[in-house]
Amino acid sequence: MNSQAKNKTKQYFGTDGIRGTVGQSPITPDFMLKLGWAAGTVFAKEGKGRNKILIGKDTRISGYMFEAALEAGVTAAGVDINLLGPMPTPAIAYLTRTLRAQAGIVISASHNSFEDNGIKFFSGDGTKLPDEIEFAIEEQLAKEVSTVAPGSLGKASRITDAAGRYIEFCKSTVGSSLKFTGLKIVVDCAHGSTYHIAPAVFEELGATVKSIGVSPDGLNINENSGSTSPEKLVEAVLEEGADVGVAFDGDGDRLIMVDHLGNVVDGDEILYVIARDRRRQNIDFGGVVGTAMSNLGLEQALDALGVPFVRTNVGDRYVMQEMLSKGWDLGGESSGHIICLDINTTGDGIVSALQALAAVVNCDQPLAELRKKMVKMPQTMINIRMPNDVDLKGNKNVQSAVSHVESSLGKNGRVLLRPSGTEPLVRVMVEGKNPDQVGSLAKELAQAVAEEFGASL
């Protein structure tokens, strides 16, 4: 990033695109039309010859409205549109790259409920946009919309085989010789954008599949299902006597798994299973990038394998930056956002599930056994609903409370206090060896923070 961009502040773009409540600025149809025009104008200047942008969405009802508004804006700027329909976020990154588009637009609010929506952009390489392009789009947003000459308007067309293309890509990531024959898998698609893709991927690789969360109605995305609510998946795995369960979030970039005993396997454990299998096969992946939220048990287990591990701030953008900086192929978050950079350019729930299942097949051991090789430290996280722009580091009373908890934990624990990047929440996390102590200290710290800022637990 150049020095001029560093000194600027973005008005609309956050760490993960633009997101908010539908009908409230900026998540409105008129803004989306202008955003489409602004993005189209910027990419038209950047490109050569006929320019093309892909648009995909998840299954929330507002996606239709915003798809139409974005299409109008982009075509008004003289740029062609390829409509993908409901597609996972990582699929849009992949198709943007392989269809040689200038950019991809994702209409999704990821793991949020249907009342929210948002916009993410991918570059022509399938990666997040550089800051310079986001600043350029925001500069255009400050101008009045103008339409190119009628003969220069963009054209819109639908990619009818988008799902099939992505299914074949996912299958190719585990090699033609690997089969899941004999595995019974429960797949929870959170009534989101993987509903018509994930079950087919596992079935075509030979697994017996039981699908849940595959009946989107526009309003039920992420509702009591998927990676953020794995209770139904646990129940289904036990009822079906399945070998494993996989759950995605609404836009398909997160993964949580369940072993045959009904234990939830989070992103840290999945990262470990994948890393261990690659190390066993002598595949060079450099090391693993985690975040401040990654369990201490992951760090210790990777160290036992001789695998380097580093932490970044929470957020896939920071994980990706560190992976690229170090030239490493594996990274992710406890929430299940896992990046296999040698396979796709962004976090991909289906690809991550396939990598973990390949480890199960390669080792001929159940997931329950593989996850045991990493011993998780007890960890308690409490979310406090309050503004996420409060000054936590500069508050003496809060920092005094943090110091007290850290002193109580000693060297065998950690404290993390941070604002959410996507919701009006402050997250309090305490980790240590004794679960009772961890829970008590987390509650004590959360109470201190809530009282200091007039919030309630």
Calpha distance 282→44 (Å, rounded): 45
Q: What does the DSSP assignment read for 216-241?
A: --SS-TTTT-STT-THHHHHHHHHHT
> Which residue among 25, 62, 108, 110 is the active-site one?
110
Calpha distance 295→414 (Å, rounded): 9
pLDDT at res. 1: 46
Give, as one character, the DSSP assignment of residue 276.
Answer: H
Contacts by 326-329, CB closer than 8 A, 24 or more apart: 326/286, 326/287, 326/289, 327/286, 328/285, 328/286, 328/287, 328/288, 328/289, 329/285, 329/286
Which of 312, 317, 309 is CA-nearest to residue 346? 317
pLDDT at res. 3: 45
Query: Domain ranges in the chain?
Result: 3-160, 165-371, 379-452
**Residue 251 burial (CB count, 10 A):** 35
pLDDT at res. 330: 98
Residues in the chain: 457
440 is known as an active-site residue: no
Buried b (16+ CB within 10 A) or exposed e, 122-151: bbbebbbbeeebbbbbbebbeeebeebeee
Report, at the CATH architecture level, how domain 379-452 is classified.
2-Layer Sandwich (3.30)
Residue 221: which residues within 8 A CB-CB, separation 6 or more?
58, 59, 60, 113, 114, 190, 191, 192, 250
What 3-state DSSP class applies to 249?
A: coil
**Residue 175 burial (CB count, 10 A):** 8
Let me know if the fold of 165-371 is the same as that of 379-452: no
For the domain spanning 165-371, the CATH number is 3.40.120.10
Task: Render pLDDT for 23-82 as a digit per residue (tens, 0 to 9).
Answer: 999 999 999 999 999 999 999 988 765 689 999 999 999 999 999 999 999 999 999 999
In order along its 457 residues, the chain shows pLDDT tens digits of 444 455 578 999 987 899 999 999 999 999 999 999 999 999 998 876 568 999 999 999 999 999 999 999 999 999 999 999 999 999 999 999 999 999 999 999 999 999 999 999 999 999 999 999 999 999 999 999 999 999 999 999 999 999 999 999 999 999 889 999 999 999 999 999 999 999 999 999 999 999 999 999 999 999 999 999 999 999 999 999 999 999 999 999 999 999 999 999 999 999 999 999 999 999 999 999 999 989 999 999 999 999 999 999 988 889 999 999 999 999 999 999 999 999 999 999 999 999 999 999 999 999 999 999 999 999 999 999 999 888 999 999 999 999 999 999 988 789 999 888 768 899 999 999 999 999 999 999 999 999 999 998 8
pLDDT at res. 47: 72
Give, as one character, the DSSP assignment of residue 98.
Answer: H
In this structure, are residues 253 and 346 in contact, taking their beta carbons and an 8 Å threshold?
yes
Calpha distance 289→302 (Å, rounded): 11
Terminal Cα distance for the chain, rounded: 40
Give, as one character, the DSSP assignment of residue 128.
Answer: B
Is it true that domain 3-160 has CATH number 3.40.120.10?
yes
pLDDT at res. 48: 61
Which of 14, 22, 10 is CA-nearest to residue 141? 10
Task: Render pLDDT for 361-419 as a digit per residue (tens, 0 to 9).
Answer: 999 999 999 999 999 999 999 999 999 888 999 999 999 999 999 999 988 789 999 88
